[in-house]
Chain A
Amino acid sequence: MMRRIKLAGLIAALLVILLPSFTLAQDVNFGVAPAEVHIDSLPPGEAAEFELTIHNKEELAHNFTIATFQPPEEEMRERMTEFPDDSWVSFSSQEIEVAANSQANVTVRVVIPQEQKWAGEDWEIWLGVAAESRDLLAVRLDVRLLVSTNPVAEGKSNAGLVAGIVVGIVLLGCGSYYYFRRKTRLE
């Protein structure tokens, strides 16, 4: 068996392969702003939006892709922890074409589910922007997104409050009815 492997290796060694050879532009240069975004006091159940600007500094139009990345623990800002779910961060477009020497905006939306367990947290996630290319070397620019949630979960759809109002109306109605009926009898 070993003899066969060695023979295969010897034969393959006599063959050759090609690595890509392109003739297009040979550099990469783009920027992303802002470099870091802090969202503070975001209540679970609420959403926040902001814009990323991609600046293509080259003489050619480029397609850019945007995706989330979990940062390595040692690279996170102090007190920050891993973002629980990438799907809470969405983009108006995950791929965008930017003309030469131009810029374009991508809207980023962060939605935290309305659960008490997500209150009072500090999370970090990176938004990576990369130019699509089949060249050997590629650049990805990571925007730090730091999200702090409110210590107490709040929300606009409050079923408890609505139920309380209904009960209040019923109780007040009964009370008022007896009050007015008694008043009418006394008169």
Chain B
Amino acid sequence: MKAAVTSIGVAIILALIFSLPALAQDSGTITITMTGVNEISISLDKTQWPLGAVAADTEQTTSPPIEWCTLTVEGNCNVKTRILGEDARWYKDGVAQNYYWTLSNTNESDISDSVRGHKYMLWFRVRGDNPPDGRGYVLITKEPSEFWPPPSGGSSLAPGDTKQFGLKLLTPTYFVGGRQMQTKITISAVTA
């Protein structure tokens, strides 16, 4: 009996001696690096474009056409910027309704009116980005695309840099009239 008790005691002690360090072992060091104290920030000096009443199949351009809004890099890191649009939606008394204008994802202005239907189109144009070397008006789609630098190359935007740009909208060839439509264009920035 004495041998059994002693045996079990010795076994437990030995097992604990070898297992405790293993149990207590941490899983390693996790390193979290915040890149300096970098802050990413851009500002826009204009966010609204009240058009008022518009007719079907007409082009609307911001005024001034290209220097309408100024994007400024406010943070302390270089950034790349992208732009995307979305469908325009009918709002009645501030409440979203189930009627849309679909944002065209392709340059369909040359397609017949009956096909384009309730689709509308948006473009942006950055000051100085002119053809033939530059882009001129660029279609805004529901897929993010380069705002600056352009896909053909160029420098990312540095702190303090500014870019002026304007917008153009082509209304659908037909739509239900008398409705207040709203849409959104998002300009996103990420570290270069």
A residues sitting closer than 8 Å to B (CB atoms) are: 2, 5-6, 8-22, 26-43, 45-46, 48, 50, 55, 57, 71-72, 75, 126, 128, 130, 133-144, 150, 154-156, 158, 161, 164-165, 168-177, 179-181, 183-184
Contact = CB atoms under 8 A, between A and B. Distances in A.
Interface in B24-39: 27-39
B39 A31 contact: yes
B189 to A, nearest CB: 6
Nearest to A39: B32
A176 B3 CA distance: 8
B129 interface: no
Interface string B142-181: 0010000000000000000000000000010111111111
The 5 closest A-B pairs by CB, nearest first: A15-B177, A31-B41, A176-B7, A172-B11, A21-B50
Given A16-B177, A173-B7, 18 more contacts: A10-B174, A12-B175, A12-B176, A15-B177, A30-B41, A33-B38, A34-B37, A36-B34, A40-B33, A41-B29, A43-B28, A57-B41, A137-B44, A137-B187, A143-B190, A173-B12, A174-B7, A183-B3
Interface string B34-54: 111111111111111111111
**Range, interface on chain B:** 35 or more
B35 A36 contact: yes
B43 A136 contact: no
B48 A22 contact: yes
A42 B33 CA distance: 12
A8 B23 CA distance: 77
Prevailing SS type, chain B contact patch: mixed
Given A6-B114, A137-B185, A169-B15, A37 B46 contact: no
A20 B18 CA distance: 72
11 contacts: A26-B46, A34-B36, A34-B39, A38-B31, A41-B31, A45-B27, A46-B30, A134-B182, A139-B188, A142-B190, A183-B3
A176 B181 contact: no
